[in-house]
Amino acid sequence: MVKHIAGPNRFDSFDIYQTFYKKIQCHEIEVGILIPQGLKPGLHPVFLKFHGGGCVSGTWSYPDWFANWLIPLVHRNNAIIVSPNYRLIPEHNGNDIQEDLADFWDWFANGGVTEHLRSHDLEFELDYTRVLAAGDSAGGYLAIHSGLTQPVGTIRTILGCYPMTNYLRREQQESFMGEPSPPESIIDEHVNQIRPGTVMSGAPPRPRNRISYALSAYGRYNEFFGTGEHLWPIFLLPSAEQLPPTIIIHGDQDTAVSIDDSRMFVKLASEVLGEKGNVRLVEREGEDHGFDMNATEEEEWVNDVTRWIEVEWIE
């Protein structure tokens, strides 16, 4: 069943609709469609947002992981937000996530959003020539990966906020999010409780963010995500023929996703794509993971980034 949802917090200025783009057994993998309140019928750009969470947690409907500075960007450009969930590890693996990503894009390209809106008697059309794929952390990974794997012209511009261009790994810390860091045993305790046939897509950050920490801090991320060059943008890039104009923002003190991964990706993109590439890295000094969540357009760096996005996405 599909339903209309009242949007809380940062989603207050949107009418929010929920549907699904695929079903596994009886499990529906959701996609949210956010329509700015008062938007006039007609053709509108698409802000395609993938949620973060290390591919372990997160959901499209969690407003605190939709950065504050992106809201006016969406409204100013009269865009429609489309935000899918996807399967998560350790219940699933990277190949499952890639399968979901491909299935979502097929559903999107074949009019899944428009069909759902028409079922609610809404006369909105998507401008498929103006699709901005965006995401933070794991969401940035999916946005960039989409740019490298979807047909030319599917995505016009990419925004990656501290994206995972390679597998998740981090230094062990005494504390994590204000609490003692979880032990490695939390991984096996969780895995041992997974029932056969479980389908997990979209989950609140807590307590699964502690599992994400453990997988990356104790070197066990690839044990569940899997390995293979097809899974990560940094390995796909050398054979890439194109990548839509891409801007990456990253704090140089990021403890979850190293800024060195973004630096390496941008350097390699320049070498591989040459004049065909337009990949920009905005480094934020002294900032950690998620630094932009409460940022506003009053900050100079935000204005610089949004102007770049609008030129590449809309103009």
DSSP 210-250: HHHHHHHHTT-HHHHH---GGG-HHHHGGG-S----EEEEE
User: What is the DSSP secondary structure assignment for residue 150, as one 8-state letter?
Assistant: S
Q: Is the pLDDT confidence value at 5 over 80?
A: no
Pairwise CA distance, residues 53 & 161, whole Å: 12
Site of tokens 């990949």: 279
Q: Is the pLDDT confidence value at 2 over 70?
A: no
Neighbours of 300 (CB within 10 A): 8
Q: Is the pLDDT confidence value at 6 over 80?
A: no
Strand pairing partners for 247? 159, 280
Pairwise CA distance, residues 6 & 12, whole Å: 8
Q: Is the pLDDT confidence value at 3 over 60?
A: no
Distance of CA 172 to the CA centre of its chain: 25
Q: How many percent of the chain have pLDDT more than 70?
A: 97
Q: How many percent of the chain have pLDDT more than 90?
A: 94
Averaged confidence pLDDT in the chain: 95
**pLDDT tens sequence across 116-137:** 999 999 999 999 999 999 999 9
Model confidence at 18, pLDDT cuts 50, 70, 90, reads very high
Pairwise CA distance, residues 153 & 191, whole Å: 40
Question: Any idea how long the chain is?
Answer: 315
Q: Is the pLDDT confidence value at 303 over 80?
A: yes
Pairwise CA distance, residues 135 & 125, whole Å: 23
Q: Cβ distance 87 to 199 under 8 Å?
A: yes
The tally of CA atoms less than 13 A away on the side-chain side of residue 22 is 19
> What pLDDT, on a 0 to 100 scale, did the predictor assign at position 4?
40
Pairwise CA distance, residues 130 & 121, whole Å: 23
Q: Is the pLDDT confidence value at 276 over 90?
A: no
User: What is the DSSP secondary structure assignment for residue 123, as one 8-state letter?
Assistant: -
Q: Cβ distance 254 to 162 under 8 Å?
A: yes
> What pLDDT, on a 0 to 100 scale, did the predictor assign at position 20?
98
Pairwise CA distance, residues 143 & 153, whole Å: 14
Model confidence at 9, pLDDT cuts 50, 70, 90, reads confident
Q: Is the pLDDT confidence value at 7 over 70?
A: no
User: What is the DSSP secondary structure assignment for residue 39, as one 8-state letter?
Assistant: P
Q: Is the pLDDT confidence value at 97 over 70?
A: yes
**pLDDT tens sequence across 135-158:** 999 999 999 999 999 999 999 999
Q: Is the pLDDT confidence value at 102 over 50?
A: yes
Q: Which long-range contacts (CB under 8 A, 24 or more apart) does 139-143 make?
A: 139/49, 139/50, 139/51, 139/52, 139/53, 139/58, 139/163, 140/50, 140/52, 140/164, 140/248, 141/50, 141/55, 141/165, 141/232, 141/233, 142/50, 142/86, 142/97, 142/101, 143/48, 143/50
Q: Is the pLDDT confidence value at 237 over 90?
A: yes
Token pair listed for 255: 């403890």
What is the model's pTM?
Answer: 0.95
Site of tokens 């989603």: 11
**pLDDT tens sequence across 241-250:** 889 999 999 9
Task: Give the three-class secondary structure for 34.
Answer: strand
Q: Cβ distance 48 to 79 under 8 Å?
A: no
Mean pLDDT on 11-19: 96
